[in-house]
Chain A
Amino acid sequence: MNTIEETFHTQRAFVAYFCAGDGGNDYSIEAALALEKGGVNILELGVPFSDPVADGFVIQEAAQRSLSGGTNLSDVLAIAQEIRKQSSIPIILFSYYNPLLQGGEAFYKAASQAGVNGILVVDLPPEEAGTHRLYLERYQLSGIFLVTPSTPSQRLEELGNAGAGFIYYVCRKGTTGVKTDLPSDYEEEIIRLKKYISLPIATGFGISTKEQAARALAGKADGFVVGSAFVRAMGEKASSEELCQLAQSLDPR
């Protein structure tokens, strides 16, 4: 298995998010491998949650489809484990806090054993994350934290120190979703972030075109994240070939 650090060391990262179990466990596994073939080198496996407040419509719908289809936490880990058997791509679980809280230490342990590299929790500020970080450390999982344009400089430094693997830069306000352009002051923001954060930075929220991805990287981010565009395609049952081509068509590297 590659570590997140190694991946960023070798190449700038193309991070793909999709909602685990949407379309069934087998489809999630196929999709992950197809996306990797298309150039993706870090995978964010979304843990479906009943109340995804940070997500826009596309991912909300995917989570609901996945949960209605019966996806549970064990399925998510089974998907991760099967991907791990067939690929060395770093896998990050992208979750809301309550499922992890209810899963408890056993869940972190099982995630680690399944070959998961890190966990990102969208509604868990590090100040509330004492137990979470204890389990991450105990089971050698990276804790990915998020920063935003409204995060003050001092806090950037704190989050940079608290995190591991990389920092997820939420480059705009609002929820996840397909947007038209990156914010006009994106480049200055990355310069500000880099002053305080030594971890690699991956830019996400709203990136759905090659041009946006190119600008994200040209602005000196170490990687970019595409979520809703893949989720939408998977909601339409895109084939492995189509997902691979979609990834290739979005990759500016």
Chain B
Amino acid sequence: MITSLAEVSPEKKASLFQRQFGRFGGCYMPELLLQSLEQLLEDYSRLKDDNSFQEKLKQTLCHYAGRPTPLTEVKRFSQAISGPKVYLKREDLLHTGAHKLNNALGQCLLAQHTGKKRIIAETGAGQHGVATATACAYLGLDCVVYMGEVDIKRQAPNVKKMKLLGADVRSVFNGSATLKDAINEALRDWTNNFENTHYCLGSALGPHPYPQIVEDFQRVIGEEVQKQVIDYGFTQPDLLIACVGGGSNAIGLFAPFLENSQIQMVGVEAGGEGVDTSRHAARFATGRPGVLHGCYTYLLQNEDGQVLPTHSISAGLDYPAVGPHHAQLFEEGRVSYQAVTDKECLQAFRLLAQSEGIIPALESSHALAYLIKIAPQLAKDCRVVVNLSGSGQKDLPQVLPLLEKELS
């Protein structure tokens, strides 16, 4: 006879195992970590409604991190692509150069409030690692960052920054030595140290309550856009575009607009060398639902459920699963998910630099590349907001040799 545990003790268990995103999400974790996750959920639920905590976060984002970030109209870029009206949400101008700091500061403040003195984090492109190391330095917390060996090589400037900020950067050699393996290693650390350690997960994925926490902390991006479009003389954008790795910058932009069915949204995945090859990270193009890192979501896997290696020019999109909210939005058809290739990404990278004097992160360049592709089909008065989730400074050592080859 099967008895559901939820029936046995509804009041407590209902929360951690309640599905947040349709059939996606959940909490598929080893028993050892369930108490920590339950504690996190309890702490977060309390602080979410705690005015003094929220005020402190707001002040920190404003006076330390540099919020609100601008919304920039890019007319020359728009002209260059014969496109519509384009506005960039400038998360590249946030302290540390990417949107990741919104979440890192939120979670580290949460950890500080709950007495956790040690923070661990995973990082792909290094942006979440830098953001966490920064938040830890600012708040006086110990910081350990796990990073795949492949990513350490292609994101050298960020590794140096993390070390300068006082973080202990630990190289991960296992598996594909990229973001997913860094998450594996961070989870292993957490099972050893959960009493004194907060795991500051960097994207809107993982076991409940992480996808919700990260989305809530990134939601500020879309909320600012809601206000900023008014300065440009309109009440709402027509189209939102953001790149999707785990999906935190995208969900941060999309979330406040989801209820408004007039606004179209596109999430752009890493098409790598093409979605018809095996070298990409386009989960919605060729993946199917499965469980990785604690949640049920779209996943690149073989028929036996083994997770497949991924490829992208951009470390931040090089991940085989995707945040569970995106999986829900995909199946409901609320958001369209598209892929662009490494090559298209590089072209967008260069075009924005040369037409506007803004160097976009390779991740964000995917969103721009998709816009370039569809620009001719969009009405000239269509208002498009692209989340420029990060700066491309970190990518220069990797990109410049590639572009030189192309330019010569």
Contact = CB atoms under 8 A, between A and B. Distances in A.
Contacts of B294: 123
Contacts of B16: 127
Contacts of B306: 49-50, 67, 99
A43 interface: no
Contacts of B4: 127, 130
B305 A162 contact: no
A175 interface: yes
A77 to B, nearest CB: 11
A73 interface: yes
Interface in A46-102: 49-54, 56, 60, 64, 67, 72-73, 97-102
15 contacts: A49-B306, A50-B306, A52-B184, A101-B290, A103-B305, A123-B291, A133-B2, A145-B31, A150-B35, A151-B31, A151-B34, A170-B31, A173-B191, A173-B192, A174-B192
Q: Which of B34, B35, B180, B188 lies at the interface centre, i.e. has the most chain A CB atoms within 10 A of its CB?
A: B188
Contacts of A56: 188
Interface stretch (B21-29, B351-359, B396-404): B21-29
Interface string B1-35: 01111101100010011000000001111111011
A127 B6 contact: yes
Chain A contact residues (Cβ within 8 angstroms of B): what range? 35 or more
A124 interface: yes
A123 B174 contact: no
A241 interface: no
Interface in A139-162: 145-148, 150-152, 154, 158-159, 161-162
Chain B contact residues (Cβ within 8 angstroms of A): what range? 35 or more
A99 B305 contact: yes
B304 interface: yes
Interface in B268-308: 290-294, 299, 301, 303-307
B194 interface: yes
A126 interface: yes
Contacts of B301: 98, 102
What 7 A-B pairs are tightest by C-beta distance, nearest first? A102-B305, A99-B305, A98-B305, A127-B17, A174-B192, A50-B307, A50-B306
